[in-house]
Amino acid sequence: MYVLALGIFAMVTSEFVVAGLMPQMADGLDATIPQIGYLITAFAVAMAAGGPFLTVAVMKLPPRTALMVLFAVFLAGNVLAATATGYPVMMAARIVTGIASQAFFGVGISLCAQLTRPEVRGRAIAVAMNGLMLGTLLGLPLSTLVGERFGWRAAFWTISALTLVAAVATLAGVERLERARAGGGFREELGVFKNPRLWLALSTSTLIIGATFAAFSYFNPILTQLTGFSTGTVPVLLIAYGAATVVGNTVVGRFADRHTVPVLTLGLVLNLLFLTGFALFADLPAPAVVCMMGIGLVGVTMNPAMATRVQRTGNAGPLVNTVHSSFITLGIILASSLGAVVIDAWGLRAPLWLGAAMAVLGLATVLPDLTRRPAPASDASRPAEVSAPEPDSAPIRS
């Protein structure tokens, strides 16, 4: 799980690197700041739209081999970015890395299910997803520091080196398994999408992440222009926010297996309260910081519970997990784009209210599962059928 977390950390650092080096990249590629901003959008769209197709292409491979292929594609994209001679080449590099990153998430989370017993899968996913949280906490500031000191190309070379380290660690630390059978063959994996409850679970994940990123995407202008913090203070606050996500992710991982839907419900309720409080008291430093930290504790940290719910409703196969990651990315795209629209119309508090509205919609998608009759105790923690290397992880189907 820790090795997978290292790979995810490399992917997330690459995703965030452009945001921290926009002026330098604009100068180096003879582009405008808005054009560099489109590189972020292209990465996200490539993740959401292209990731599942690459996952299908590697589904027949053993999981470790599939991860090696994805590392190779991701590395090629970062090397292409580091050597980009112009904006079109950089755009192509971001699309390649986005697609590989999304597929890696899907295959990696599916591998978590294969390597662990059903009753601890949520905790295992939380360990792997700490790569995402640490990418927010450390990846962005470190890549920005490297880019500012040694040039933006050095940041991509550093990510390329990190990718090689993660690949070697995966090759050495992840045991060789046969082809994943967590969801069966392609047709069987595709068949689970006929289940309406799966689409409900996927939409919950979109709304949870959307609610969080409606605020996160605009923390900087909100904290400087409304709350009154200096630009030098904001990075410190963002590091504190990243630390809160690590803590929250660890706590959620402890309860995601046994109390999946209640954890999601409580997380959404608390996020709604924090987003509303932030919107109401954004001009007061102390309440604003408390609400910001609260969003960190109960926002993206719902990932282990979200993944557990999706796996139990569909299966733990790589395609389902990759599509789930695409729905998460869709939440980021919707929140950031709609946030820009509402800011133009109603000001900087508007994205916080947008996040609160998405949290309310998220609660509506959880309620049907919350009110369902609970399964018998013997089945309560059984996710979808998986293959596993140990006898006590025999295939189980909910």
57 and 115 housed in the same domain? yes
Do 15 and 116 fall within a single domain? yes
Reported as type and span, the H/E element at residue 372 is: none
Return the pLDDT at 184.
Answer: 55
How many beta carbons lie within 10 A of that of residue 182, not counting itself?
A: 25
Cβ atoms of 126 and 308 within 8 Å: the answer is no
Q: Evaluate whether 396 touches 118 at the Cβ level (below 8 Å).
A: yes
Pair 229, 334 in one domain: yes
Two tokens, residue 366:
């959880």
204 and 175, same structural domain? Answer: no
Is the C-alpha dihedral spanning 54, 26, 84, 169 positive or negative? negative
- 348 in Cβ contact with 221 (< 8 Å): yes
Q: Are residues 231 and 356 in the same domain?
A: yes
CA nearest 159: which of 84, 44, 217, 76? Answer: 76
Note the pLDDT of residue 114. 80
What's the pLDDT at 164?
96
Query: Is residue 159 domain-shared with residue 217, that is, in the same domain?
Result: no
pLDDT of residue 178: 62
Q: Tell whether 175 and 198 lie within a shared domain.
A: no
Q: Rg of the Cα trace of the chain?
A: 20
Q: Which residue type occupies 61?
A: L
- Burial degree of 212 (CB within 10 A; 0-12, 13-18, 19+): buried
d(CA 224, CA 111): 42
Q: Assess contact for 149 and 285: CB atoms under 8 A.
A: no
- Do residues 181 and 386 lie in contact, with contact meaning Cβ atoms separated by under 8 Å? yes
CATH code for the domain in which residue 273 is found: 1.20.1250.20
Distance CA 121, CA 161 (A): 30
Query: What's the domain range around 62?
Result: 1-180
**How far is Cα 293 from Cα 227, in angstroms, rounded to an integer?**
15
Residue 391 lies in a domain: no
398 in a structural domain? no
Count CB-CB contacts under 10 A for residue 329.
25
> Residue 63's closest CA among 114, 120, 118?
114
List % helix, strand, coil for the chain (3-state, nearest 5).
Answer: 80, 0, 20
Q: Are 381 and 309 in contact (CB under 8 A)?
A: no
Q: Is residue 185 part of a domain?
A: no
Residue 324 in domain: yes
Average pLDDT, the chain: 86
d(CA 248, CA 321): 21
Same-domain pairing of 287 and 335: yes
Smallest Cα–Cα separation from 74: which of 9, 134, 126? 9
Cα separation, 183 vs 191, in Å, equals 10
Classify residue 133: in a domain, yes or no.
yes
Where is the domain boundary, 141, 161, 180?
A: 180
Which of 151, 180, 209 is the C-terminal boundary of a domain?
A: 180
CA 353, CA 153: separation in Å to the nearest integer? 38
Q: Do residues 33 and 22 make contact, with C-beta atoms less than 8 angstroms apart?
A: yes
Look at residues 180, 212, 235 and tell me which one is the last residue of a structural domain: 180
CA distances from 229 to 21, 225, 232, 280, 325 (A): 22, 8, 8, 17, 34
Whose CA is closest to 183, among 381, 321, 316, 322? 316
Q: What is the structure's pLDDT at 160?
A: 96
For residue 257, what is the DSSP state? T
- Up-side HSE of residue 151: CA atoms within 13 Å toward CB? 9
Residues 174 and 195 in one domain: no
The residues of the chain scoring below 50 in pLDDT are 180-183, 375-398
d(CA 104, CA 51): 8
**Same-domain pairing of 218 and 139:** no
Q: For residue 201, what are its two tokens?
A: 């679970």
How far, in Å, CA of 365 to CA of 385, rounded?
25
- Within a domain: residue 170? yes
Question: In the chain, how many domains are there?
Answer: 2
Residue 117: the pLDDT is 82
Residue 179: predicted pLDDT: 55
Domain assignment present for 377: no
What confidence score (pLDDT) does residue 387 get?
Answer: 37
Do 176 and 195 fall into the same domain? Answer: no
Read off the pTM. Answer: 0.81
Burial class (CB in 10 A: 0-12, 13-18, 19+), 224: middle
- 209 and 100 housed in the same domain: no
Predicted local confidence at residue 239, as pLDDT: 86
DSSP structure class, residue 229: -
Residue type, 106: G
Residue 331 belongs to a domain: yes
